[in-house]
A and B are shown apart, each in its own frame.
Chain A
Amino acid sequence: MDAAVASHKVNGDSHGHDHAHGHHESFITKYIFSTDHKMIAKQFMVLSLFFLFVGGAFALFIRWQLAYPGQPIPLIGDFLPSQWMDANGAVSPGFYTQLLTMHGTIMIFAVIVPLMVGLFGNFCIPLMIGTYDMAFPKLNMLSFWLFPLSGVFLMSGFFMEGGMAASGWTAYPPLSAVASMGQTLWIVGLFFAGFSSITGAVNYVTTVLNMRTKSMKLFQMPMTVWAVFITAIIVLIGTPVLAAALSMLFMDNFLHSSFFLPENLIVNTRDMSRTAGGGQALLWQHLFWFYSHPAVYIMILPGMGVVSDVISTFSRKPLYGYKAMVFAIMAIAFLGIIVWGHHMFQSGMNPLLGTTFMLSTIIIAVPSAIKTFNWLGTMWRGRMEFHTPMLHAVAFVSMFVIGGLSGIFMASTPVDVYIHDTYFIVGHIHYVLFGGSLFAIFAGITYWYPKMYGRIMNERIGKWHFWVTFVSFNLTFFPMHILGVGGMMRRIYDPNVYDFLKPFQPMNEFISIAAFVMGFAQLIFVFNFIYSLKKGKKAKRNPWRANTLEWQAPSPPPHGNFDKELIVYRGPYEYSSPESVQDYLPQNLSPEELREAWQVHDERQKQEEKEFTV
């Protein structure tokens, strides 16, 4: 019984201060051109999840071709435009190249980055630091609206002659600089995506530094906020460089300049007589990876923050080594900026740089190990509750360990000579971005869903989704390491051209079947998401009994978030503290409230003892 009394205190259902702005909003200002950070976060989430299915469908086309090369696509093959298909009704090599390019581009720039930064950044920062909105709500709205604009440009190659971009998501020139219109549109689309990231990042940094609620020190912020904050700094350092590189590539493509084009290229896709030459193709790779390697950390660090929060909450135990965790994120972010050359070991750059970039890269394993051990430390002697978010978070840690370990192979220059550009790297990147980022995203969405919509996602369906995804994920991506060891190059339309790859055909088929299961399993998530909007169990303010400030707001929080003043007294991870009556201790619970809760608790206990003796 004391739990209910204390939770009443803790949740502070007092309606004394009403910070919520009660003004009327039309449909357009509420759902479309909204400046409310929560609505913007949801907009990012819905659009990104839509793109998740687009990118996933592209991947399934790729997998079909690799499993059954040259065989017509069942069911939908007849409805696809003939210019994408070969005579049999199978995917044509040109369309295949477009698919793999757009799969990578969409998953990175339209799914993982917007979910990690756009969703968690927007939703969590103001709520977790106890403020009413972002520092610049209108800029925030712009940040969102640049995202669909970017998506339109990225996808519009569909309707162009020559189709979509087809030079890989890395778009190495000269291939990308002498390409079709779809490639030019891809460049413009990515430019807007970068613009969206920058406007978002400015907002996050400003908000975290200036708008924390009273007396909240930096080292009282939850890991999610720390992670998004540091990610935003990486975005601000890296994205302008991407913008510069994209501008140059655009000019090479459209205005016949030669930033990346050496003299006298012999290509038949375009008239080169107006191109002077004298450029350097490797310049693009340096500029691109100067952004895109940190981008890998943009895609994983917020996930690490989310997972830290989820694991601590559901282990009912303080995050092990909170400061070490923060410093490890900083170290990863810093090292992440100086390791881009490890994508270029075989590019023809000076091999001496291979040595230096290998050493800086391999050292990233150290902060990553620190994080892993601290997650283990958090679970050690905890009291773990395996709700759906926790399952995803636990899977994240385990998959991240595999993704991290497989990264060492690529970091080691001599091994990279062999496995560079093989399926080993495809397996690695999917362990990091799917096994890592996407599981963290699922953890985050299921964890904050009650706060977003006031209802809890159905646990039974959620667990089904988790287990099917987890098993099929491993069956899909783990064998890719074996393909890579066998030497199978990435981005090839038909491995059977090579004798040494023919024995891998059964494995490719196996992977594809697992991939189809995994792809369709995501429909369970969508079903659960929509089903729980109406039928989910109603959530109180703090359904997970968590400490951080967002759980002090109503579920869902109104525009303006909090209905009371928040003063922060302690860090975010005081679970199972002996100070507290319960096994959690919200950041804003004042010493007076705590004392009262103890008095109530003591009286109740005396009462019980009396009853017992009588």
Chain B
Amino acid sequence: MLDMLTWLPENVSTFGEGIDEAFAFIYWVSVGIFFLINIIYITFIIKYRRRKRSERAYYTHGNNLLEFAWTALPFVLFAGIGIYSDQIWRDIKYAELQPNPDVTVEVMGQQYMWHFRYAGSDGVFGHREMKFISSTNPFGIDPSDPNGKDDVTLINQMNVPINKHIQVKLSSMDVIHSYFLPNMRIKQDAVPGTWVDVWFNVDKTGTYEIACAELCGDGHYLMRAELNAQSQEEYDTWINQQYEMKLASLADPNADTAEGTQQDTTQTASNDVAGGE
């Protein structure tokens, strides 16, 4: 009953463990302080009510030793929480502490959908620049760069292998969004004009939700995507399929591009969600 942390969504990542540990630590410290203060407080309220009009309160202006004690003790406690928290923060956010990523995915926020981009079968991302960004080219891939031709782009769907270090390169093409993975305890704003790196891993297969956590307009609440965490084999099969579809679409320029088809289907799906609610 007292343990609010049971409401946390299931954690399926290593970083999430650190975050949950810090959460729990601060939570129980807070609960302790809360009860300590309020027990004293309520005792005082009951005990030191005025009962007789003639009674006088104890006349004192304070005690320097006490003032010192309740300055120093919280300082030690809170500075300790800060230093402890920082260790976890570094592991999650400092670029130089990250191991080499196994998979890199570029993520682009747009009102109200998420674009995902994987390097093509050549394993190289095509060069991108902001000036090339358009509604049909959300990542701003340089049309003259051959490496970019086979890059795989998806909408509202992201696949990753489990137990691998995933690197996300995050940006936005319109307003600020926030890439939020509740089950991995990851959140990072996507800022237009800037690319920010995010790292995480998933240690359990399944489909998880990706949310937008920063108000991005009227349809903010609809900006939902799915994260499929797969075993390495499943992931390999899936990504190879994507490569093939992309290559097929490149070979036959008259057919709908793989990107276009996927875009249409996912958009219809998200509209259904909107209509159904």
Contacts and interface: CB of A to CB of B under 8 A. Distances in A.
Interface residues of A, number: 106
- The residue among A96, A178, A405, A486 with the most chain B CB atoms within 10 A of its own CB is A405
Given A320-B62, A366-B75, A401-B38, A500 B9 contact: yes
Contacts of A419: 23
Nearest to A489: B213
Contact of B59 (A282, A317, A401): A317
A363 B75 contact: yes
A385 interface: yes
Contacts of A482: 4, 7
A494 B277 CA distance: 8
Contact of B45 (A351, A355, A384): A384
Interface string B211-238: 1111111111110100000000000000
Contacts of A43: none
Given A264-B133, A576-B59, A413 B187 contact: no
Interface stretch (A9-17, A164-172, A222-230, A508-516): A164-172
B49 A384 contact: yes
B131 A264 contact: yes
Contacts of B251: none
- The residue among A319, A366, A376, A386 with the most chain B CB atoms within 10 A of its own CB is A366
Contacts of B82: 358-359, 362-363, 411-412
Contact of A322 (B34, B38, B61, B219): B61
A268 B22 CA distance: 42
A485 B130 CA distance: 37
Contacts of B224: 497-498
Interface stretch (A289-297, A299-307, A367-375, A551-559): A367-375
A490 B214 CA distance: 8
Interface string A156-192: 0000000000111000111100100000000000000
Nearest to A380: B44
Contacts of B7: 482, 485-486
Interface in B104-122: 110-111
Given A316-B56, A421-B213, A262 B130 contact: yes
A418 interface: yes
B58 A491 contact: no
A384 to B, nearest CB: 5
B44 A263 contact: no
A14 to B, nearest CB: 27
A492 B274 CA distance: 13
A70 interface: yes
Interface stretch (B88-96, B153-161, B255-263): B88-96
B61 A282 contact: no
A394 B37 CA distance: 13
Nearest to B83: A359
Contact of A485 (B4, B33, B37): B4
Interface string B48-89: 111000011111111100110011001100110110011011
A46 interface: no
A355 B192 contact: no
Interface in A477-502: 481-482, 485-487, 489-500
Contacts of B38: 398, 401
Contacts of A151: none
A614 interface: no
Contacts of B67: 321, 324, 370, 374
Sorted nearest first, the 10 A-B pairs with minimum C-beta distance are A262-B193, A351-B93, A381-B58, A321-B62, A317-B57, A487-B182, A414-B88, A413-B89, A383-B50, A492-B221
24 contacts: A97-B215, A175-B176, A266-B133, A316-B57, A318-B60, A319-B61, A321-B67, A348-B194, A374-B67, A380-B48, A380-B58, A384-B44, A386-B49, A409-B23, A409-B30, A412-B22, A418-B19, A421-B187, A486-B8, A491-B220, A492-B220, A493-B221, A494-B277, A576-B56
